[in-house]
Structure 1
């Protein structure tokens, strides 16, 4: 794929995420219209999830018919060129009228993230990155905190029902024991963005799906974060652990989480 073809995809998705944001925000502001259901324990679904994903699938398939599309709600199969979409990341927050949710769109070429766009319309924030070109929030360059003292660090540890709760609680305990402040805000994609812009020093989760991180890991890596090799093996189809942190804390975060990081995303 030529640089011009990648650039076309980048600017196309910026336009699409703007339209998708307006659609999602309209649902969010009419909370009684969400038609909330549950896919499983603490696994929320709203009408907005399906509507936003359908819109993005249709437009991307029309614009780039040779690209594959994978979405949280509709699934899909990977190919050499694939879009990976989470229409609403942080659906539980969305359904409860909490503003901490986002739309995440990542583009991978030959298994490597090339484009990452995350919109948090209720927070009026737009995160963007292209491989080798840095990361921005609302058009301004962002960078990780650079903090190197675990006793002053703020880390977010995501929780998944796919992992035994004892494993999660043990990781949280190791975080507190090391001296870090630990939080959980309910959106993995935004948690990774908050590492990218220095609001927190790390995000980790013992299992997370590709649609939650396909855009965010590129954004964080381009902002200077150390990240793990999430897309190794069957990461796209079955998920993997994720670790994203300011590099000076990588060794201590690896000890807390058991997840090995690297400086650059592959």
Structure 2
């Protein structure tokens, strides 16, 4: 095993372990959510609680303890610089709105970049005890079972995930939905883009599109989809691109052309 492969294996192992550990902590807060103090960010629908912050603190502490030279980008605490070739990208609780409202569609999302390549993607869904794990060249797995996408499914015989937030106008979202329905497709939105990307990797959704997402919402899901045999639209990682939002699209191969046309990508 090469040195890089060994380093990747070690980080993947850490990502799996801390995703589950973070999920246990988040689930405790979820089960006692009536006691949470919920704050809003830029929009009343964009919320955060102490659960988000403590879960990110836990993940950061585990990374620093094992790989102190790695950089970290998290939704709640921003960027901490590093000297290695690795940058962790984490969303402590993706789907905070479902979380605080008692719905199970939220997850822990942990990714790592090696240079400019998405190298690791792990998503844990505490309410369902589902662990999605992937690393470049190693495949994608759900609770240990290898995921392989069916490249023949299209938007017309499967369901597509659609995301929306305050960065995108209601008219734009309505047009996306209209175009998808006109093309013979159907859609869901469950409040967690990371989780819906994991569902693409698992074949539960044929694709996922959101006009504006941040790296911490999509990096882990992108790795999962790619390693399961799917495709994803590139996310800008050079310069300060990693800290800004961008369009996110991932799909099984049979749905790529239709969804790229719908998204104008």
Bin of the TM-score, shorter chain as denominator length: over 0.9
Q: Does 1:56 align with 2:59?
A: yes
**Superposed displacement of residue 66, structure 1:** 0.7
Q: Which moved more, 1:75-84 or 1:45-54?
A: 75-84
Structure-2 separation of matches of 1:99 and 1:235: 31
Query: Match of 1:71?
Result: 74
| Bigger shift: residues 25-34 or 84-93 | 25-34
User: Where does residue 142 of structure 1 map in the other structure?
Assistant: 147
**Corresponding residue to 1:250 among 256, 260, 265:** 256
> Unaligned regions of 5+ residues in structure 2, if any?
none
**Could you tell me which residue of structure 1 aligns to residue 99 of structure 2?**
94
Q: How does 1:135-174 map to 2 (within 5 A)?
A: 135-174=140-179
C-alpha change, 1:167 and 1:78, in structure 2 (3 Å) is farther
How far off is 1:147 after superposition? 3.7
Aligned length: 259
Residues 1:126 and 2:126 aligned together:
no
TM-superposed CA distance for 1:45, in Å, is: 0.8
Matches of 1:66 and 1:136 in 2, distance apart?
28
Alignment partner for residue 198 of structure 1, among 186, 203, 211? 203
Equivalent-residue separation in structure 1 for 2:14 and 2:158 (angstroms): 37
Per the alignment, residue 3 of structure 1 pairs with 5
- Where does residue 39 of structure 2 map in the other structure? 37
Q: What displacement does 1:193 show?
A: 0.7
Instruction: Tell me the equivalent position of 1:264.
Output: none
Question: What is the match of residue 222 of structure 1?
Answer: 227
Q: Shift of residue 41 of structure 1?
A: 2.5
The question of whether the paired residues in 2 share the 8 Å contact of 1:221 and 1:227 is answered with yes
User: What is the rounded CA distance, in whole Å, between the counterparts of 2:122 and 2:94 in structure 1?
Assistant: 13
Please give the alpha-carbon distance, in whole angstroms, between the structure 2 residues aligned to 1:200 and 1:257: 17
Alpha-carbon distance between aligned partners in 1 of 2:207 and 2:60, rounded to the nearest angstrom: 31
CA distance in 1, matches of 2:191, 2:150: 21
Distance 1:27 1:148 in 2: 38
1:204 Cα offset (Å): 0.5
Q: Give the RMSD, CA atoms, in angstroms.
A: 1.5
Greater Cα offset, 210-219 or 10-19: 10-19
Q: Which residue of 2 aligns with 1:176?
A: 181
Residue number among 201, 209, 215 corresponding to 1:210 in the alignment: 215
2:115 — aligned with what? Answer: 110
Give the TM-score, by structure 2 length: 0.93
Q: 1:6 and 1:63 mapped to 2: Cα distance?
A: 13
TM-score by length of 1: 0.93
* Residues 45 and 91, structure 1, Cα contact 8 Å, conserved in 2: yes
Once the two structures are TM-superposed, the CA of residue 180 in structure 1 deviates from its matched residue by: 0.3
Q: 1:8 to 1:163 in 2, by over 3 A?
A: same
